[in-house]
Amino acid sequence: MSRLMLGFIRMIDAANYRIGRIAMYGIFVLMGILLWSSISKTFFLPTLWTLEMAQFVMVGYYILGGPYSIQLGSNVRMDLLYGEWSMRKKAWFDLITVLFLIFYLCVLVYGAVSSTAYSLGYWGTEPFSFLGGLVTGSEEVGHLERSSSAWRPYMWPIKAVMILGMFLMLLQCLSELFKDVLRLKGETI
């Protein structure tokens, strides 16, 4: 069982490391969009797409970089008592709190899947089967949701990125859970 956990940890950590390192450069894309927005408003006609596109890029940057942040331990923690605890006590506390985070992420993934299915024109009650049907070809896309702004982009691409990011965060939290279990068993990771 420990070998299986270690294999899962290595695989998920490696994937999230690579995705996080790529997503890290999204800040430069965001800066480029905002720079173009400033230039176009100053010297040319203002563009309609820059503000909303900057928001979409920021969502991707934040959502896809989250698992990498968890992996590095650079997420915000209140270190009032935690810093003085033994490694075993920290592992127990982390194990319990990551279970709450996993539950929360499961709710978020369900909401993201429902929202993405809605943005693809599905108004039923089974969003997972609809998205699975899209993959297998047994379902068809309906009326696509668009933003209410003047630019009116389709919403499904950013919602799909949200599903991916939340799913990767869920996998990273499972990896952290397994790390805590192995620490409690006295194994090195």
User: HSE on the CB side for 155, CA within 13 Å?
Assistant: 17
Task: Please state, rounded to an integer, the average pLDDT across all residues of the chain.
Answer: 91
Bigger pLDDT: 109 vs 140? 109
Residue 75 confidence (pLDDT) above 80 = no
Phi, psi of 149 (to 5 degrees): -75, 175
Confidence of residue 138 (pLDDT cuts 50, 70, 90): confident
What is the pLDDT, as a whole number, of residue 19? 97
Reported pTM: 0.89
Q: Tokens 């506390």 appear where? A: 93
CA distances from 167 to 19, 111, 124, 140 (A): 13, 12, 22, 24
Cα 50 to Cα 46: distance, rounded to the nearest angstrom: 9
Domain extents in the chain? 2-184
* pLDDT one-digit tens code per residue, 149-180: 888 999 999 999 999 999 999 999 999 999 99
Residue 141 confidence (pLDDT) above 90 = no
